[in-house]
Amino acid sequence: MANARGLKSLLLAASAALLIGLDQWTKQLAVAHLKGQTAVSLIRDVLELLYVENTGAAFGIMNGMRLIFVILPPVVSAVLIHVYLHMPEGRRFIPANACCIGIIAGALGNWIDRLRQGYVVDFIYFKPIDFPVFNVADIYVTCSAFLIIFLLIFYYTEEEAAGIPFLGGKAGDRKEE
């Protein structure tokens, strides 16, 4: 069991590092090629690359509340690491584990920006609905959050969801297989 948890921890660290690295790389590309430039149209009147420095949360909400955004991501990540490490075993829970990794990577990817520069680099703009400019880390968090909600409503049984820490019973209250 300890060996399985160690392997699971290694998978979490490697996956999150890879996703964070991809996020940071895309932000570096945005700074190098988009900062100070006009928007680059990828799909006319639909999708643009547009450099924005975001001092708020995802999609620009809560601008200027830096302290919250410096404290909250590591706390949320720590909780999700606990959930991930205490998730019931088996293939059925791979999607929930992937969601934990996605949210952790997204939160920490933007957290790194806030610590280093005081803002997050956003650069993807979806024009048809005038959607706020976002980045790859925002995609990780948003897609993972929607997917975990979908899984909890339509995929996992109540008994399975009860085995996921913080959703049912007490944290860590799962049956060992």
Catalytic residues: 122, 138
Looking only at the bridges linking them, the beta strands covering 40-43 and 120-126 are unpaired
Look at residues 87, 125, 91 and name the one whose alpha carbon lies nearest to residue 104. Answer: 87
CA distance 98 to 30: 26
Q: Which two tokens stand for residue 47?
A: 């999708």
CA distance 49 to 9: 35
CA distance 114 to 146: 24
